[in-house]
Structure 1
Amino acid sequence: MLMRFVYLLLPACLLAVFTNLRAQDANYWSAGYGPAGYFMPGSVIAQNRDSGVLFYNPALLVNTAGSTSSLSGTIYQWQSIFMKDGLGTGLHLRSQGTSIVPMVASHAVPFIKKKLPFTLAYAIVHTPVIDYGVSQQKDVVQDVLNNSYSPGAETFIGQYKSANRVDHTSFQLADGMRLNKRISVGLTAEAFVRKQSTTVDYVGRAIMNPAGPDTVLAPITTVSENYTASYHQAGFRVRAGLAWELSPSHHVGFLVTTPTWKVNGKGTIISNVEISNLMVTPAQAINILASTRQSSLKTNWKNPLSIAAGYTYMHQRGQLYICAEYFAPVKAYQVLKPKPAAFIRPDTGSSNAAASMLQLNDERRGVLNVGIGASYRIMGSTLIFASLRTDFTYDKGINGDVRTVTEGYKVNTTDWDMYHAQVGVSMRKKRYHVRAGLLLSYGSTGRYDQTINLDHPDEDNFLLGDPQPVNARTIQAGALISYIHNF
């Protein structure tokens, strides 16, 4: 009894220890456990004779022969996010790291009833989102300020750093039920906790050159911006599935996932903006201070309705599987909405209008992803398998490439399409089932929008330069493992 209890708790305990993996934050299919994550047991919509204990399509749970526990994840993963000239010529931005993460820990128990057989399963699923952090500095002598009041080249220092971390963990309870010999249905109730912390920090300084011999202290022109938003949100959604065996060789599946409903959530925004000694004209300087901290803000993070379908062809040596999932668009909305409180100081009574500058917003276009997978038995119960899936970005604006909201800050960092491939081997024994494989992912864009370009900072652009689109890419590789224990 004690050993059985340990087996049930072990996946959850391991999942609680390792919770840091880098992925993409504007894509739906980055996580390995999904309709096309063919490596993960049960990560399909149509039948694939898998002994996985928590099927993405809960209707397939009826095929679980006995009580089983499963632990799947990444034993090692490396990822690099690289933005060429991200802050200007030669000022690249790079975020990279390694990680170890169990992503799915689950347990399933079939209940054999003559009239209505069904299977219950529960799981903890950690969906990797992003852990991004970059920094860069430009320290040069160049002509930045107008020569009418600061003749010659100035000492200029520009510092930039940005970070974005998102963790998403869900707790799932699923039920699969057979309606007849060929058709089964299932339902998954999923409660989730999502946490995010995002920061943008920039300061640019130029030391004025004395305009005459009477100048003792050279003023410093400064432009700085700091913004940090953090929140947590708890909510739930429901996934309903259907599996249909057209014949022993042909299987189809359908899945509908509801949008998320919020249960509770709180967030905090802290921001500071300073502009000092910025000469709009030789006779007029701008000096501005804006500062605020707002806590206990209500959150409103959303995930849309999705509809998926899959088909599996069974043959003597393996399977061929294809699937697709459509995600509905989401109109522009605020994940964190600031209060109409004082921001620009001194408070003139009109500074409340500046609250829109502090919002954390999101907007999503409709996305259709497709995937293909195959397995082939090479000897006994040993199979080799491979899969390929698209992972298109939703960060292009609901009406094309132009986002509706231009004020405030985006909730996501990346905005490019991804492609994921998995290859591996599966070995099945009486008491356990083991899979091991490799993950390779790549994504790129030639139009990643800079926020700051330090090639030519001056008074007209507030020492921020003239941002341009640049090249950005992601490469990741990982070693995957999955273990299933049959009781």
Structure 2
Amino acid sequence: MKRSFILFFMGVATCSFLHAQDSHYWTQQYGTRSALLSGAVLGGTNDNTMIYYNPGALGFLDNSSVSINASAYGIGNIRVENALGQQADFESLQVGSVPLLAGGMIRMKDQKWKIGYAFITPVDFSFKGIARLDNDYEVIEDLESPGLEELVAEAGITTKTSEIVLALGLGRKLNENWSVGLSNLFTVRSHSYQRNFSSYVFMNDEERTFVGGNQSQNAEYYNVRYAAKLGAVYRSGNWSTGLTFTSPSINLFGQGTLANNIAVRNLKLIDDNRISGVATARQAELKSTYKSPFSVALGTNYKKGNSSAGIAIQYYNSIDIYDIMEPAPGTFVRPAELAPELQSDRFLRNRAGAESVLNIAVGYEHQLSDAFSLLLSARNDMSYFDDELNDGPGIKTTISSWDIYHFTGGVNLDHRNSSLSLGLLFSTGNTGKYEQPGNINPEDINLLEGSTTITRARYSNIGLLLGYTLYLNRLSNNKEAGD
């Protein structure tokens, strides 16, 4: 009896849904002109987005003080086919805005030194989906329940992940060709995840016996970490080349909560007995850890006449699988004598990890007039999701595992003291090998345990980018000239 009960709880505990933009490094780009060029600006551009892209370019900035505000407004759609089987899809349509970057530069007496700050939103992902089945299927053997049984099944996921980065950058111009810099990146990450799964069957016996199982999972935490980015830029003639190294993150502090609750009613075991029971655990104020990898980026920009082009390549190292929070062992199944060997720490497990990825961005700009330019760009955004996170029980909170491709086009209008950008962004990605645990197959005798299937998932997004840059020192210079 104990062995059969273990099999059930392991099956249901792995019925968790994987997450689209929560496993990518290049989902967002920052600033005005830099965002329209998909970040292909490692050789430098004349605003303080260099605090993030390449602090080595800060020493070449012409402006002592710059304030930047940029927002992306988008409509995103994620669909996972057959989330419960039988064409019951998960689909999430989100409309919202993302403030990409706001910051400025601090005026220094020594113009060779440049100090800047920025607030950046690299991650802002939300997903909410519900799939439901309600019909008659051949679920239970005719010896117990002749004919078709009434089945009601439902799965729902709500998740939100956000990160805010405070970047403090320092750059120095060494000579006419070289500049170096360092950015200190403090990242505050918050994540909440809730999943509910239920399946209920009414047997065709005299008692109309009710057989069912349901599960609810919850994980939420915040975390603060630090990383350093070292950069250098070399300029010569029409060429400008940049190189950056970003350290692995250092965990500072954070905490969170994990909960997993399972209930079964009249579940048939291998020995033909039916039992009811629960497995439940919740642990709060757990120390949280979140890691970002070492990365290296190389890019070059070329300008000739009215045209300029850039390319940027960034490699992110892999991260071994680790526990975001470490729950303590404790009683999970009740009555405990049904399966005392099942401990809560195994089913509360919440892990993360990353495979190595290589992303490439290309951008092109054509100056139509002194004040007006056209910009086009494209980039890939490879998913760092590690398939080994699918193995074993626990709370699995990642939704996306597919690669995304971004395309951007827009215009930039330069004024005497400011710059205004307007652009359109389109992103798309899909996979035919999406691993979907918790699928309900009415033809499977182990219906309530769910099964893992390979299905198709699709992601698309269309957005509007609005960017504005204000060059404060130009205002000051003009005012002094007027006086």
Same fold (TM over 0.5): yes
| RMSD value, Cα | 2.3
Q: Aligned partners of 2:426 and 2:372: how far apart in 1?
A: 22
Instruction: State the Cα distance separating 1:280 from its structure 2 match.
Output: 2.9
Q: Which has the higher contact order (CA 8 A, sep 6+)?
A: 2
Q: Aligned partners of 1:266 and 1:279: how far apart in 2?
A: 39
Q: Output one character per residue of 1:153-189: Cα deviation in whole Å (capped at 9) or x when no partner.
A: 1111001101221010111111111112111111111
Instruction: State the Cα distance separating 1:346 from its structure 2 match.
Output: 2.4
Cα pair distance change 1:404/1:226, threshold 3 Å: closer
Cα pair distance change 1:52/1:467, threshold 3 Å: closer
Instruction: State the Cα distance separating 1:198 from its structure 2 match.
Output: 1.0
Write the mapping of 1:223-372 to structure 2, written as runs, cut at 5 A.
223-245=213-235, 247-280=236-269, 283-348=272-337, 350-351=340-341, 353-372=343-362
User: Which residue is 2:4 aligned to?
Assistant: none
User: Which residue is 2:426 aligned to?
Assistant: 440
User: Which residue is 1:393 aligned to?
Assistant: 383
Q: Tell me the secondary structure at the aligned position of residue 181 of structure 1.
A: coil
Q: Output one character per residue of 1:303-326: Cα deviation in whole Å (capped at 9) or x when no partner.
A: 111110001111111311011001
Within the candidate set 415, 423, 442, 1:456 is matched to 442
Residue 198 (structure 2) pairs with residue 203 (structure 1): yes
Within the candidate set 30, 33, 37, 2:30 is matched to 33
Instruction: State the Cα distance separating 1:110 from its structure 2 match.
Output: 4.2
Gaps of 5+ in 1: 1-21
Letter in 2 for 1:406: G
Q: Aligned partners of 1:457 and 1:108: how far apart in 2?
A: 64
Q: Aligned partners of 2:365 and 2:179: how far apart in 1?
A: 24
User: Contact conserved, 2:372 with 2:411, CA < 8 A, in 1?
Assistant: yes
Instruction: State the Cα distance separating 1:286 from its structure 2 match.
Output: 3.4
Within the candidate set 54, 65, 68, 2:66 is matched to 68
Q: Aligned partners of 1:258 and 1:439: how far apart in 2?
A: 30
Within the candidate set 448, 457, 470, 1:472 is matched to 457
* Residues matched between the structures, number: 452
Q: Aligned partners of 1:51 and 1:135: how far apart in 2?
A: 42
Instruction: State the Cα distance separating 1:454 from its structure 2 match.
Output: 2.3
Within the candidate set 57, 66, 69, 2:54 is matched to 57
Within the candidate set 392, 404, 415, 1:418 is matched to 404
User: Contact conserved, 2:248 with 2:293, CA < 8 A, in 1?
Assistant: yes
User: Which residue is 1:16 aligned to?
Assistant: none
Letter in 2 for 1:138: L
Q: Tell me the secondary structure at the aligned position of residue 407 of structure 2.
A: strand
Q: Output one character per residue of 1:68-121: Cα deviation in whole Å (capped at 9) or x when no partner.
A: 2110111x21000011222212211101111022210011134252xx711111
User: Which residue is 2:370 aligned to?
Assistant: 380
User: Contact conserved, 1:72 with 1:483, CA < 8 A, in 2?
Assistant: yes
Q: Tell me the secondary structure at the aligned position of residue 452 of structure 1.
A: strand
Name whichever structure is richer in helix by fraction: 2
Q: Output one character per residue of 1:282-318: Cα deviation in whole Å (capped at 9) or x when no partner.
A: 8411323101111011111111111100011111113
User: Contact conserved, 1:186 with 1:241, CA < 8 A, in 2?
Assistant: yes
Letter in 1 for 2:441: D
Scaled by the length of structure 2, the TM-score of the pair is 0.88
Scaled by the length of structure 1, the TM-score of the pair is 0.88
Letter in 2 for 1:228: N
Letter in 1 for 2:114: T
Q: Aligned partners of 2:465 and 2:58: how far apart in 1?
A: 23
Instruction: State the Cα distance separating 1:127 from its structure 2 match.
Output: 1.8
Letter in 2 for 1:444: N
Q: Aligned partners of 2:162 and 2:46: how far apart in 1?
A: 32
Q: Once structures 1 and 2 are overlaid, which stretch shifts more, 375-384 or 38-47?
A: 38-47
Q: Aligned partners of 1:143 and 1:42: how far apart in 2?
A: 55
User: Which residue is 2:165 aligned to?
Assistant: 170
State the identity %: 25
User: Contact conserved, 1:53 with 1:108, CA < 8 A, in 2?
Assistant: no
Q: Aligned partners of 1:53 and 1:330: how far apart in 2?
A: 26
User: Contact conserved, 1:228 with 1:269, CA < 8 A, in 2?
Assistant: yes
User: Contact conserved, 2:30 with 2:70, CA < 8 A, in 1?
Assistant: no
Residue 102 (structure 2) pairs with residue 102 (structure 1): no
Letter in 1 for 2:101: V
Instruction: State the Cα distance separating 1:354 from its structure 2 match.
Output: 4.3
Q: Aligned partners of 2:396 and 2:159: how far apart in 1?
A: 11
User: Contact conserved, 1:52 with 1:484, CA < 8 A, in 2?
Assistant: no
Q: Aligned partners of 1:37 and 1:457: how far apart in 2?
A: 53
Q: Aligned partners of 2:278 and 2:155: how far apart in 1?
A: 19
Instruction: State the Cα distance separating 1:407 from its structure 2 match.
Output: 2.7
